[in-house]
Structure 1
Amino acid sequence: MKTEQKLNMTMLCDFYELTMGNGYLKAGYQDRITYFDVFFRNVPDQGGFAICAGLDQLIDYIENLHFDEEDIQYLREKQMFSEEFLEYLRNFHFSGDIWAIPEGTPIFPREPVVTVRAPAIEAQLIETFTLLTINHQSLIATKASRIVRAAKGRTVLEFGSRRAQGTDGAITGARAAFIGGCKGTACAISDQLYGVPAGGTMAHSWVQMFDSEYEAFKTYCEIYPTSATLLVDTYNVLKSGVPNAIRVFDEVLKPRGIRKCGIRIDSGDIAYLSREARKMLDAAGWTECQICASNSLDEYLIRDLLDQGAKIDVFGVGERMITARSEPVFGGVYKLAAVEDAAGRIIPKIKVSENVSKITNPHFKKTYRLFDKATGKAEADYITVYDETVDESQPLEIFDPQATWKRKTFTDFTAKVLQVPVFQGGKLVYERPSLQEIQTYCAQQLETLWDEVKRCENPHTYYVDLSQKLWDIKQSLLRQNGENT
């Protein structure tokens, strides 16, 4: 049995991807060029948009695809796979093309987030990991964005490692939360690996370890005078915690000319306690002292605390962000959209269902985001066939693909293609931005959305429409399917 330290992520696939791969080889389809789309159907928490994340880990995965001898032997022992297929896997690498929407971009249901063009076996074998990384990190980045927006400019820190679903949930979850707008994390390894700023001060055990709360605070401030945030709710916030913090600040920090400090409240009526603590700190001359609040917070609790006049400068958010507790599944899917015939012509494919929401948009596609020139705001996304272009000098009419009588014409707009090339012919062609650059880009892109789209509850529905050509192709395939059943 493999140890965790030797895990080959190429084997992180659904078993049917291997059985289909073997079947494609035996059927002679191994070289057939296919097009797969990653897209999602619904925004978590009934929000107005999601945040794309996870591309950087997908790049690492694609660049390290391989089957080692231990993997080959495991598959041989299943007695399901031909030796020809096992030999194919021994020399396996990704040779196809991938386009993706950059991390930090607001994304909307049913538009391609990642598009894979590759021989059938290659495209099929990367399905699970592609979905895993895009689904997980987009989910956490989206939840973090909601929480950060609820905080209305106050600092939000990610505190959830110990309650994440597994190690990767904690590590890449902190990365995704940073993309969504968090300023830092409690997870040290996420700082070490990705540069998410890690920080932290004390737990209740530190305070309990000493003979008195005062001694615990004083010792900490003497060791860490420039980063002293004291946890004041171990015994009694207002009767001992805050008074002892003020006493220690006066005795240890003030003589050194240090004004930067903080207290953290992790239990109780945080709105009331923060207001009273603020009065006590200000009266003692510690107006610069920041108040941090934690304890199972989310966007709704943060909003309510601020509505109640809570005096909080920093929110530490744990389990409800790192697990996206209110809706912990992103729901992205990986669907075949087209294949190429022997002559290289692209043949659109469609998945049909009695559940209308599960009918796919066929063909190799391109998505444009339309921006109003006067406001700079994003007005709609426009999905076209790959060979269509948008002429910005001409009026563009779009229509709702479900209710085609709903139409809108744009005249003074710019059109930006959302997906960018990531791999071409198996080679990385994408210049990977730093995590800080992704976070900055995300914040900039959020500014292009109308406030109505960014509401946490009952947001305005953003237009994601099909071109007339794509809509016609889809309807034709639906008619053909109906005639053949």
Structure 2
Amino acid sequence: MMHEKDLPLLVDLYELAMAQAYWHEGMQERAVFSLFFRDLPEHRNFVLACGQRNIAEVLEGLQFSEDHIERLRQLNRFQPGFLEWLRSFRFSGSLHAVPEGTPLFPQEPLLEIEAPIAEAQILESLVMNYVHLESVLATKAVRLALAADGRPVVDFGLRRMHGIDAGHRSVRAFRLAGLSATSNVLAGLDFDMDVNGTMAHSFVQAYPDELEAFKVYAHLYPGTTLLVDTYDSRRAVRRIVSWLREKPLTNIGAIRLDSGDLAAEARDCRRILDDGGFPQIRIMASGGLDEYRIARLLAEEAPIDGFGVGTAIGVAADAPALELAYKLTEYAGEPKMKSSSGKVSLPGRKQVFRVLDDDGRIVRDTVAGRMENAEGRPLLEPIMENGRILPEAIGPLASQVDGAQQAIASLPDPLLGLEPAEPVPVQISDYLTQLQRDSLAVVAGQRR
């Protein structure tokens, strides 16, 4: 099992190989690397940027131990002097990032790192992994929350997530995206998110009679949710109604449906509960749900009060990857860019300016140079300087959640739906456009 103390070795080999080459050649000038994506994933109208603050805390404590140095020595690829350099490695650079939960569009940096080039290069895969995971899952989660139209959505995804690290860190992203609760106890406690759960079918099956199982659970957990579809959901709800009439002080908060035609099951169960005098008992649904099924259920006016979502959210099933790029945009004060076909990047340090209308909705964004002034609010904020997190740069998670919800609410209505919509216009400033032309001219000259 990987331990957090071993994160310095969580690199791709070429990053260490390049760092050694920089060290060997005495290349110590400061470099700027920008983390961005060129295209939106299919089925996505925006990406909800998450993980940037998380990686700052990782970078602040990153260092190679004696064990790390010895393990690298065994690869027979690294010179003693470079291993000594790694032994004294501490991130000494700066980090600018957009606030957690900011909706972004192609070419807009999620973050930029400035540091001596070998330092910044070593961080590539680690930074990308942290930000990729949380951004992909947060983007999926916000779609679920929007589809539910104010009804609670609970994360049931832990058991099918790709590793325990994803299972833990995902809950932070889900909270930023607007989910209501999680079944994941550790992550719920760590990220101050409500922890909810019901029961498995095995609990009902373990009893000779399902009503006995319900009675045990209701006694132990007042206000509980009972899973009613182990055998016959309608029959189970009728039996619950008869039992509650006999024991009116028993407190049942909800029933949960996990299979079958959820809309039809919910209508019938709602009718049984209402006719029996229990309109306050809610109906929760789960079982293979995603944002599309949730939207269809609500379009059919299914009387469902909340949703539990597992696999679809745990692996972001329809768009599990974001083509993040971590590209060198400046070295030793000179702009740098990639110019290969289809993968042209923007040189220089950057800022993103967001213009809102009078209703607080996004009108357009402008990607500009870091030192430019443009209309709108700048999104990239300084988080680290000289390798240390700036005081008050990372606020309490609750305030980050509030900020994320405000940022999501600023999206134009078409982007809040599930269908593809015209994206927010993203302009490139005249300065950056000219800088790109000049940089391309330099590259062209080098090819002659």
Q: Is this a same-fold pair by TM over 0.5? A: yes
Partner of 1:9: 7
Q: Aligned partners of 1:208, 1:231: CA distance in 2, in Å? A: 11
Q: CA deviation at 1:369?
A: 0.7
Distance 1:229 1:250, change over 3 A: farther
Partner of 1:354: 341
Q: Aligned partners of 1:179, 1:84: CA distance in 2, in Å? A: 44
Partner of 1:262: 254
Which residue, out of 337, 356, 367, partners 1:383? 367
SS of alignment partner, residue 382 of structure 2: strand
SS of alignment partner, residue 249 of structure 2: helix
Q: Aligned partners of 2:243, 2:387: CA distance in 1, in Å? A: 60
Partner of 2:383: 422
SS of alignment partner, residue 340 of structure 2: coil
Write the mapping of 1:215-364 to structure 2, written as runs, cut at 5 A: 215-225=212-222, 227-239=223-235, 241-252=236-247, 254-255=248-249, 258=251, 261-340=253-332, 346-355=333-342, 358-364=343-349
Distance 1:181 1:20, change over 3 A: same
Which residue, out of 386, 398, 413, partners 1:451? 413
Conservation of the 8 A alpha-carbon contact between 2:365 and 2:426: yes
Q: CA deviation at 1:5?
A: 4.3
SS of alignment partner, residue 132 of structure 1: helix
1:21 has 2:19 as partner? yes
- Name which structure has the greater RCO, CA cutoff 8 Å, separation 6+: 2
Q: CA deviation at 1:185?
A: 0.5
SS of alignment partner, residue 135 of structure 2: helix
Q: Aligned partners of 2:293, 2:271: CA distance in 1, in Å? A: 22
Q: Aligned partners of 2:311, 2:282: CA distance in 1, in Å? A: 23
Which residue, out of 154, 171, 174, partners 1:174? 171
Q: CA deviation at 1:174?
A: 2.0
1:129-182: per-residue Cα shift (whole Å, max 9, x none)?
110011110000000111111111111011010000010111111221121111
Conservation of the 8 A alpha-carbon contact between 2:383 and 2:394: no
Conservation of the 8 A alpha-carbon contact between 1:221 and 1:248: no
1:472 has 2:397 as partner? no
Q: CA deviation at 1:79?
A: 1.2
Q: CA deviation at 1:480?
A: 3.3
Partner of 2:180: 183
Q: CA deviation at 1:324?
A: 0.3
Distance 1:250 1:89, change over 3 A: farther
Distance 1:106 1:82, change over 3 A: same
1:269-308: per-residue Cα shift (whole Å, max 9, x none)?
0010001111111111111111110011111111111122
Which residue, out of 159, 163, 169, partners 1:162? 159
Conservation of the 8 A alpha-carbon contact between 1:293 and 1:315: yes
- My pick for the range that moved more, 475-484 or 289-298, is 475-484
Residue type at the aligned position of 2:272? M
Conservation of the 8 A alpha-carbon contact between 1:217 and 1:244: no
Q: Aligned partners of 1:440, 1:6: CA distance in 2, in Å? A: 29
1:369-426: per-residue Cα shift (whole Å, max 9, x none)?
1122x23221111111122112x5xxxxxxxxxxxxxxxxxxxxxx111011110111
Q: Aligned partners of 2:203, 2:82: CA distance in 1, in Å? A: 58
Runs of 4 or more off by more than 4 Å in structure 1? none
Conservation of the 8 A alpha-carbon contact between 2:354 and 2:365: yes
Q: Aligned partners of 2:398, 2:76: CA distance in 1, in Å? A: 48
Partner of 2:425: 463
Conservation of the 8 A alpha-carbon contact between 1:275 and 1:309: no
Residue type at the aligned position of 2:111? V
Q: Aligned partners of 1:77, 1:276: CA distance in 2, in Å? A: 67
SS of alignment partner, residue 427 of structure 2: strand
1:216-236: per-residue Cα shift (whole Å, max 9, x none)?
0011111111x3100000000
Q: CA deviation at 1:455?
A: 2.5
Conservation of the 8 A alpha-carbon contact between 2:353 and 2:365: yes
1:132 has 2:129 as partner? yes
Q: Aligned partners of 1:281, 1:434: CA distance in 2, in Å? A: 42
Q: CA deviation at 1:251?
A: 4.2
Distance 1:10 1:249, change over 3 A: farther
Conservation of the 8 A alpha-carbon contact between 1:232 and 1:245: no
SS of alignment partner, residue 352 of structure 2: strand
SS of alignment partner, residue 197 of structure 1: coil
SS of alignment partner, residue 416 of structure 2: coil
Conservation of the 8 A alpha-carbon contact between 2:95 and 2:385: yes
Conservation of the 8 A alpha-carbon contact between 1:185 and 1:197: yes
Conservation of the 8 A alpha-carbon contact between 2:263 and 2:297: yes
Residue type at the aligned position of 2:85? Y
Distance 1:251 1:99, change over 3 A: farther
> How many percent of aligned residue pairs carry the same amino acid?
34
1:300-359: per-residue Cα shift (whole Å, max 9, x none)?
11111112221110100011011000111022111000012xxxxx2110101122xx10
Q: CA deviation at 1:447?
A: 1.6
Partner of 2:88: 91
Q: Aligned partners of 2:293, 2:106: CA distance in 1, in Å? A: 27
Conservation of the 8 A alpha-carbon contact between 2:52 and 2:110: no
TM-score, normalization by structure 2 = 0.96
Q: CA deviation at 1:115?
A: 0.4
Residue type at the aligned position of 1:247? S
Residue type at the aligned position of 1:261? G
TM-score, normalization by structure 1 = 0.89
Aligned residues: 446
Residue type at the aligned position of 1:418? L
SS of alignment partner, residue 382 of structure 1: strand
SS of alignment partner, residue 422 of structure 1: strand
